[in-house]
């Protein structure tokens, strides 16, 4: 898949989370801070945010994760499904440091082989990365579909 096509697909999928997350509340009811489907908190000193999804939103989006593996002394192996590109062409993954919490992390792609990304930089081995739902998280982080 070309980078342009992947970015275009990612852009289209970002709208899906906004719609899915919006559908996690009852129509006509007010929502307390605790019951929000998604909370986005900027992480000081960086250009990324910490996204916390309610269990209902996480289930509706269908979040799935894989794990970063070590490859030799210098490379990391990341599931290809976890990789996405922002509109500027920069490669990222969403890590999941704890259940329901997601943080975008940059990746430097060295090669792609058989459904695996060989990266020279990125999250350390053992890190959980989102393999299903990253585009929706990106849309949530940037407020796609908000009024």
Q: What is the mean pLDDT of the chain?
A: 82
Whether 92 is in a domain gets the answer yes
**What whole-number distance in Å separates Cα of residue 74 and Cα of residue 117?**
13
Percent helix, strand and coil across the chain, each rounded to 5? 30, 35, 35
Q: pLDDT value at position 135?
A: 92
Q: Note the pLDDT of residue 144.
A: 81
Average pLDDT over residues 110-135: 96
Structural domain contains residue 146: no
CATH of the domain at 13: 2.40.420.20
The 10s digit of each residue's pLDDT in 31-84 is 444 347 999 999 999 999 999 999 999 999 999 999 999 999 899 999 999 999
Structural domain contains residue 46: yes
> CA-to-CA distance for 19 and 120, rounded, in angstroms?
35
Segment 125-139 mean pLDDT: 96
pTM: 0.77
Residue 147 lies in a domain: no
Question: Over pLDDT 70: what percentage of the chain?
Answer: 74
Q: Is the distance from CB of 108 to CB of 79 less than 8 angstroms?
A: no
pLDDT at 90: 97
**Number of domain units in the chain:** 1
- CA 27, CA 10: separation in Å to the nearest integer? 28
**For 91-106, what is the mean pLDDT?**
98
**pLDDT value of position 61:** 94
Residue 29: per-residue pLDDT: 44
Residues, the chain, total? 147
Which helix (H) or strand (E) segment holds residue 52: the answer is: strand 49-53
What CA–CA distance (Å, rounded) separates 107 from 94? 10
Q: What gap in Å lies between CA 46 and CA 104, rounded to an integer? A: 11
Domain containing 130: what range? 3-141
């Amino acid at each position: 898949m070309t980078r342009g096509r992947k970015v275009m697909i990612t852009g289209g999928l970002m709208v899906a989370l906004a719609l899915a997350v919006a559908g996690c509340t009852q129509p006509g009811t007010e929502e307390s801070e605790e019951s929000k489907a998604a909370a986005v908190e900027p992480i000081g000193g960086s250009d990324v945010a910490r996204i916390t999804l309610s269990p209902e939103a996480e289930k509706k989006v269908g979040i799935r994760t894989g794990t970063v593996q070590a490859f030799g002394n210098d490379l990391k192996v990341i599931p290809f499904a976890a990789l996405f590109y922002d509109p500027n062409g920069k490669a990222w993954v969403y890590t999941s440091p704890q259940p329901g919490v997601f943080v975008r992390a940059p990746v430097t792609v060295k090669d792609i082989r058989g459904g695996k990304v060989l990266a020279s930089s990125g999250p350390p081995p053992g890190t959980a990365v989102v393999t299903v739902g990253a585009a929706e998280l990106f849309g949530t982080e940037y407020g796609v579909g908000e009024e």
